[in-house]
């Protein structure tokens, strides 16, 4: 029997993966050990970094830690993880020497991205709630009578381990006539989620506000949430601008 098992000590993941400058960094978190190939390996005090060199933009990569002699190293590969039946650790499929520590989705360059509108670096160990937000920065006029995006460039994009994602949105709008308007949140498309709203469009006199919320369990990997709108008739101005709190905006949180 493994000595740690005899003492009731399970696999160790005393680390967290984050973006640091242009690189990603695996650093110590509440300890200094990471179980790799059924061994408690010491994470360097300065952490372990990986550059995006050679990665393909808009591709999901899993980040694995492994040992080269006594040196802890990171790799980014598309090979999905699997649960090691012996240790209970998430490992690279077919390689128990590689322990899962995170997931990334590089942007153009390639470059690692971790921003409120694009949470593209997430940690497997010691996950925390990551806030997300995006907002419409210029008014946009719409005439569609079925749900469509307010602005496809103002999504919140993210990676998830398959947990529930919570989002909220506020819509400020003005219709050219006494026409009702609807607003909601959609995930990965224009199918509206329950939790949206329906209101008078302001009759071209004063702006109206609609709030929406949505929570959904999504599959592991890349997803986005977006602001959806429609009007029964006429043209609706969905407000955008530079002033925070006075524009259409979407917020959310994801674990990672």
Q: Which tens digits make up the pLDDT trace of 69-115?
A: 999 999 999 999 999 998 899 999 999 999 999 999 999 999 999 99
CA 219/CA 251 separation, integer angstroms = 20
CA 22/CA 49 separation, integer angstroms = 10
The number of helix segments (H) and strand segments (E) in the chain equals 1, 24
Across the range 10-30, mean pLDDT stands at: 96
Q: Which position has the higher pLDDT, 8 or 41?
A: 41
Question: What is the CATH architecture assignment of 130-255?
Answer: Sandwich (2.60)
Can you give the pLDDT at residue 204?
Answer: 63
Across the range 61-72, mean pLDDT stands at: 98
Can you give the pLDDT at residue 179?
Answer: 84
Can you give the pLDDT at residue 1?
Answer: 29
pLDDT bin (cut points 50, 70, 90) of residue 206 is confident
Mean pLDDT, rounded, of the chain: 93
- Whole-Å CA distances, 240 to 124, 140, 208, 229, 256: 36, 7, 13, 14, 30
On the question of pLDDT at 3 being above 60, the answer is: no
CA 129/CA 256 separation, integer angstroms = 6
Across the range 228-249, mean pLDDT stands at: 93
The token duo for 167 is 């989002």
On the question of pLDDT at 127 being above 80, the answer is: yes
Comparing CA positions, the residue from 256, 254, 220, 224 lying closest to residue 80 is 220
C-beta separation of 240 from 151 below 8 A:
yes
Residue 103 is given by DSSP the state: E
Can you give the pLDDT at residue 203?
Answer: 63
Residue 13 is given by DSSP the state: B
Number of neighbours of residue 42 by Cβ within 10 angstroms: 12
Half-sphere exposure of 190 (CA within 13 A, CB side): 12
Domain ranges within the chain, ordered by starting residue: 3-108, 130-255
Indicate the pTM of the whole model. Answer: 0.92
pLDDT bin (cut points 50, 70, 90) of residue 9 is low
């Amino acid at each position: 029997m493994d000595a740690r098992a005899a003492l009731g000590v399970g696999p160790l993941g005393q680390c967290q993966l984050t973006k640091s400058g242009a690189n990603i960094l695996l650093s110590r978190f509440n300890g200094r050990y990471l179980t790799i190939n059924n061994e408690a390996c010491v994470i360097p005090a300065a952490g372990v970094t990986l550059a995006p060199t050679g990665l393909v933009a808009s591709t999901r990569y899993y980040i694995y830690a492994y040992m080269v002699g006594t040196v802890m190293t990171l790799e980014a590969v598309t090979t999905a993880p699997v649960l090691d039946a012996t240790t209970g650790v998430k490992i690279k499929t077919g390689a128990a020497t590689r322990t899962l520590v995170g997931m990334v989705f590089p942007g153009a360059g390639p470059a690692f991205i971790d921003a409120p509108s694009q949470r593209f670096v997430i940690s497997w160990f010691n996950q925390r709630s990551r806030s997300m937000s995006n907002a419409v920065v210029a008014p946009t006029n719409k005439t569609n009578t079925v749900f469509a995006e307010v602005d496809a460039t103002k999504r919140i994009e993210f990676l998830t381990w398959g947990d529930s994602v919570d989002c909220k949105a506020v819509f400020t709008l003005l219709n050219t006539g006494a026409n009702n308007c609807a607003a909601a949140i959609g995930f990965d498309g224009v199918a509206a989620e329950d939790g949206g709203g329906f209101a008078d469009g302001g009759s071209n006199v004063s702006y109206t506000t609609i709030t929406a919320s949505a929570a959904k369990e999504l599959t592991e990997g890349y997803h986005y949430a977006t602001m959806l709108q429609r009007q029964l008739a006429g043209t609706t101005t969905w407000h955008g601008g530079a002033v925070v709190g006075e524009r259409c905006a979407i917020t959310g949180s994801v674990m990672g």
